Chains A and B, each alone.
Chain A
Amino acid sequence: QVQLQESGPGLVKPSQALSLSCSVSGGSIIDGGYYWTWIRQLPGKGLEWIGSIYSNGGTYYSPLLRSRVTISLHTSKNQFSLNLNSMTAADTATYYCARLIARAALYYFDYWGQGTLVTVSS
């Protein structure tokens, strides 16, 4: 059973960068066929895809956030991370890490973390 767990600060000051980590257990982040992904949910709103990283390090970002986002793999720790620069109040959200399975006609998020609330405030 794969499990994902987000960690990082719950409070970030405006203009600062957010750094979150996702620890993966029950599977390896270098296994092929999976995209390790960050998704967020603004308060009371729907889900928003931030970006994904493949096991070979290839990255894919939302066009709306591409200029501020970096997603990285940390293979020795079996973790992947999110860095989001120039945070504003509009970035206040619950941030989820998830695994996207990519097999033939199947692309879906099969495992999710529980989410971590990040508030941007001075």
Chain B
Amino acid sequence: QPVLTQPPSVSASLGASVTLTCTLSSGYSDYKVDWYQQRPGKGPRFVMRVGIGGIVGSKGDGIPDRFSVLGSGLNRYLTIKNIQEEDESDYHCAADHGSGNNFVVLFGGGTKLTVL
């Protein structure tokens, strides 16, 4: 099953752009990944799903156009443009693997985005 790796933290200035990375382990370059935003003290909310070809399906409810995704090789990226204070959150990536009795969901360790 794949391992998802995220840097623990990243910071960006208000109004700037930032790209968050979720890296799949070797051999899983065809996997899709879901991004979730978790604001301080809140439960996560779905941002969007990304595969090697880009977004899969639609963005989550209320996700602004400033959020976009890209897939390349083993990496799945979430880019936030014109960063706002409300974007300061933990961002988690997740992937589903297997089927039937072998179905599992795996999460990365999460990245804390600090807005300077």
Contact = CB atoms under 8 A, between A and B. Distances in A.
Interface of A: 37, 45-49, 52, 60, 62-63, 96, 100, 105-110, 112-115
What's the interface size class on B, roughly?
Answer: 20 to 34
A22 to B, nearest CB: 12
B97 to A, nearest CB: 10
A108 B45 contact: no
B43 A114 contact: yes
Contact of A96 (B43, B104, B109): B43
A100 B43 contact: no
A107 B107 CA distance: 13
B103 A112 contact: no
Given A45-B110, A46-B110, 19 more contacts: A37-B105, A46-B6, A46-B108, A46-B109, A47-B92, A47-B110, A48-B107, A49-B104, A60-B103, A60-B104, A105-B51, A105-B57, A106-B57, A107-B34, A108-B94, A109-B46, A110-B46, A110-B60, A112-B45
Among B6, B46, B60, B106, residue most surrounded by chain A Cβ atoms (within 10 Å): B46
Nearest to A104: B57
Nearest to B4: A46
A107 B44 contact: no
Nearest to B105: A49
Contacts of B42: 114
Interface of B: 6, 32, 34, 36, 42-46, 49, 51, 56-57, 60, 92, 94, 96, 101, 103-110
B10 to A, nearest CB: 15
Contacts of A110: 46, 60
A49 B92 CA distance: 12
Contact of A107 (B6, B96, B108): B96
Among A37, A49, A60, A108, residue most surrounded by chain B Cβ atoms (within 10 Å): A108
A83 to B, nearest CB: 19
